[in-house]
């Protein structure tokens, strides 16, 4: 049973890796991105990877701040 689950995970990870490689190869063209006063030229695949990672990081920072606020409220007498 464990070997079957391990094989399924391995096949799943291999499929994700192949899809990621195809995605990167298909989106290699340069795009210009403007943010405030800065213009950056980068591959489209990099931009598509950075955008959700920045969102995840921002969400984690907000949730960490919320967790700190909740823990401070519970510690006060």
11-66 confidence digits (pLDDT tens): 998 998 899 888 888 888 999 989 899 999 999 888 888 888 899 999 999 888 88
Measured CA to CA, the distance from residue 17 to residue 23 in angstroms comes to: 10
pTM confidence score? 0.57
Query: Where do the structural domains in the chain lie, given as residue ranges?
Result: 2-75
Q: In whole angstroms, give the CA distance from residue 19 to residue 67.
A: 36
Torsion of CA 45, 51, 54, 56, to 10 degrees: -100
CA 42, 48, 52: angle at the middle one, nearest 5?
A: 130
């Amino acid at each position: 049973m464990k070997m079957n689950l391990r094989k399924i995970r391995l096949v799943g990870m291999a499929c994700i890796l192949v899809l990621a490689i195809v995605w990167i190869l298909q989106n290699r063209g340069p795009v210009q991105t403007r943010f405030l006063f800065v213009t950056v030229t980068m591959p489209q695949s990099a931009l598509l990877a950075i955008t959700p990672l920045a969102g995840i990081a921002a969400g984690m920072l907000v949730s960490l701040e919320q967790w700190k606020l909740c823990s401070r409220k519970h510690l006060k007498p």
